Chains A and B, each alone.
Chain A
């Protein structure tokens, strides 16, 4: 079972870009899908999208215009970028192996003040 660790700023200003990195250890990033999921405080899970190790992506249609998920195989990392954030983007962001997800990271809370 791989280990996944999300990292990035815990506070992002409105209208700016949220950038997170997921570092994968205990296994290769190759030959797998990698997902991002988020969970607003006290609410349910929302699928953001996934990237295949070759770079092929698929995004939630409600976020598609603002989201980019990419992979860096040399660093065994997966990245998430979400532009033009608002308070509604405040959430714990999880990276996960596979789509649908199998192994989950611990998550990282990102706050966008209103």
Chain B
């Protein structure tokens, strides 16, 4: 089974910019993996932020954006706010059926 990798932890200053990445053990991540990004705050259920690489929902703050970068999926946060401190998970789809979550990135805003 494919392994999806994320940075275990990252720190960003308030107002700063940070990029989280999502890689695949099978090789380059492409749009055909339909990358998703989720935010989870302590004690809460996850919330879906980004779907199909870069698409946002109505509830996704504008400061979050998704892309493909250097063979990986990427989530960029521009203008970090204290309330953005959370765990972030990516998800990749394989062959249209198999779905694998990354291990998550703990983002600290400090």
Contacts and interface: CB of A to CB of B under 8 A. Distances in A.
B25 to A, nearest CB: 15
Given A100-B34, A100-B51, A107 B45 contact: yes
Given A106-B45, A107-B45, A58 B97 contact: yes
Contacts of A107: 45
Contacts of B45: 94, 104-107
A100 B1 contact: no
B48 A47 contact: no
Contact of A94 (B46, B91, B98, B102): B46
A45 to B, nearest CB: 4
A44 B103 contact: yes
Interface residues on B, range: 20 to 34
Contact of A100 (B57, B99, B104): B99
Interface in B80-110: 89, 91, 93, 97-104
Nearest to B47: A104
Interface of A: 37, 44-47, 58, 61-62, 94, 99-107
23 contacts: A37-B101, A44-B89, A44-B101, A44-B102, A44-B104, A45-B46, A46-B101, A47-B91, A47-B100, A47-B101, A58-B98, A61-B1, A62-B1, A94-B46, A99-B99, A100-B48, A100-B91, A102-B48, A102-B57, A103-B48, A104-B45, A104-B47, A107-B45
Given A46-B101, A100-B51, A101-B46, 7 more contacts: A44-B103, A45-B38, A47-B91, A47-B101, A62-B1, A102-B57, A105-B45
